[in-house]
Amino acid sequence: MKNPKILEQLESWIEDNRSHTILGATAKYIPALANQDPNQLGICIMDHEGELYEVGDVNVEFTLQSVSKILSFIAACDHHGLDYVLDKVNVEPTGEAFNSIIPFEIHRPNKPFNPLINAGAITVSAILPGENIPAKYDNLLAFLEKFIGKRLYMDVEVYESEWKTAHRNRALAYYLAESNQLELEVEEALEIYIRQCSISISLQDLAKIGLVIAYDGFDPISKKQIFSKEIARVAKVLMVTCGMYNSSGDFAAHVGIPAKSGVSGGILAAVPPKWHSDEQAFRKGCGIAVFSPAIDSNGNSTAGTMLLKQLSREWDLSIF
């Protein structure tokens, strides 16, 4: 049953944090994202029984952007097995921007540092199951349907906008191709990557995905295991160490919840159950989705991050 006190707390924290939107700005390098209203702030939390707490600007759809990277990683692992995918990408933070080419120039790694930077994500998109790009994309949507019971679709305007301006991602894909790390042609790899970034999602659906990740791939509502516990373990490690890019350390210290951000302003967070504390809200775990399109220089939502800091502190949700 819904706890009215939680809704009240969330209402007041949304108001406390809304002003932090002025600390950021909408992503300018993808013209369709630049047009988003930067003042929006909304949160959806799904508890272990499927109860939804929705506060703020919650009737929104936004594109997954980099949130898709953790989902395509899970989908690729689910199909190929963890070892196969970890043969293509490492599990190390870079300390560089998400779309940096510095790791290639300086370190010349034989595989991208992790699947949550663009180079690693493009590499993983290229190995999504399917004979061609439409099939790979369709298989990713079919995988996500297992979490939320419905087919997502692509925001064509964002896709076209990103495709036209994907100069940096194209450069990264050429670096990957040059060192034989790409299993597709450059243009094909970019197409599947940009398609996955342009998938449109609601806060409610994203919160459900967070809940399943929090529960180690198990859906506590349908009681189905959607993907393996082993994959969930590595996915959560990636979310903690690389999910918020160069702010991952700060986020771990002040929020302490496995999370993944995207430049459209979405954050997916997975709060694992905490069995030792009877008192705290959401001690049985939950999925959290936040949306607020003004982002900082690392690509993370400013107000969304501050809101998560506040609720993690108040409800003692940190895993550390």
Q: Which two tokens stand for residue 28?
A: 């300018």
- Interface with ligand GLN (CB under 6 A), residue from 169, 247, 302, 305: 169
Q: How far apart, in whole angstroms, are the C-alpha atoms of residue 288 and residue 293?
A: 16
Report the distance separating Cα 203 and Cα 42, nearest Å. 8
- Catalytic site residue 261? no
Q: Of these residues, 58, 85, 263, 271, which one is catalytic?
A: 263
Q: Residue 124's closest CA among 158, 265, 134, 113?
A: 113
Burial category of 188 from C-beta neighbours within 10 Å (exposed 0-12, middle 13-18, buried 19 and up):
middle
Nearer to ligand GLN, 57 or 162 (CB): 162
Query: Is position 125 annotated as part of the catalytic site?
Result: no
Binding to ligand GLN (CB under 6 A) within 132-161 occurs at none
Residue 99 engages ligand GLN in binding (rule: CB under 6 A): yes
Give the helix/strand (H/E) hosting 260: strand 259-261
289 to 308: interface string for ligand GLN, x by CB under 6 A: ----------x---------
Residue with the CB atom nearest ligand GLN in the bound state:
66
Check whether 246 is labelled as a binding-site residue: no
98 near ligand GLN, judged by CB under 6 A: yes
- Shortest separation between residue 283's beta carbon and ligand GLN, angstroms: 31
Whether the CB-CB separation of 29 and 162 falls below 8 Å is answered with no
- Please provide the DSSP assignment of 177-205 as one string: HHTT--SS-HHHHHHHHHHHHTEEEEHHH
The answer to whether the annotation marks 193 as part of a ligand binding site is yes
162 is in an annotated binding site: yes
* Active-site choice (55, 60, 67, 69): 69
| Closest by CA position to 189, among listed 126, 121, 136 | 126
Closest residue by Cα to residue 105 from 58, 153, 172: 172
What are the angstrom distances between the C-alpha of 188 and each of 88, 111, 154, 183, 191?
18, 19, 17, 10, 5
Q: Return the structure tokens found at 139.
A: 């298989």
Nearer to ligand GLN by Cβ, of 13 and 159: the residue is 159
CA–CA dist 42, 54 (Å, integer): 8
Please list every residue from 56 through 75 that binds ligand GLN, using CB under 6 A: 65-66
Q: Is 271 a residue that touches ligand GLN (CB under 6 A)?
A: no
Is 81 in a helix, a strand, or coil?
Answer: coil
- Closer of 280 and 297 to ligand GLN (Cβ): 297
- The contact mask relative to ligand GLN for 210-249 (x = CB under 6 A, - = no) is ----------------------------------------
Number of residues counted as binding ligand GLN (CB under 6 A): 11
The two tokens of residue 263 are: 């430049």
What are the start-end ranges of the E strands in 122-198? 153-154
Least distance between ligand GLN and beta carbon 107 (Å): 21
In whole angstroms, how close is the CB of 162 to ligand GLN at the nearest point? 6
Q: Is residue 262 close enough to count as binding ligand GLN by CB under 6 A?
A: yes
Chain contacts with ligand GLN (rule: CB under 6 A): 65-66, 98-99, 118, 162, 169, 197, 262-263, 299
Q: Which residues are catalytic?
A: 66, 69, 193, 245, 263
Q: Which residues are annotated as a binding site?
A: 66, 118, 162, 169, 193, 245, 263
Q: Which residues are annotated as a binding site for substrate?
A: 66, 118, 162, 169, 193, 245, 263
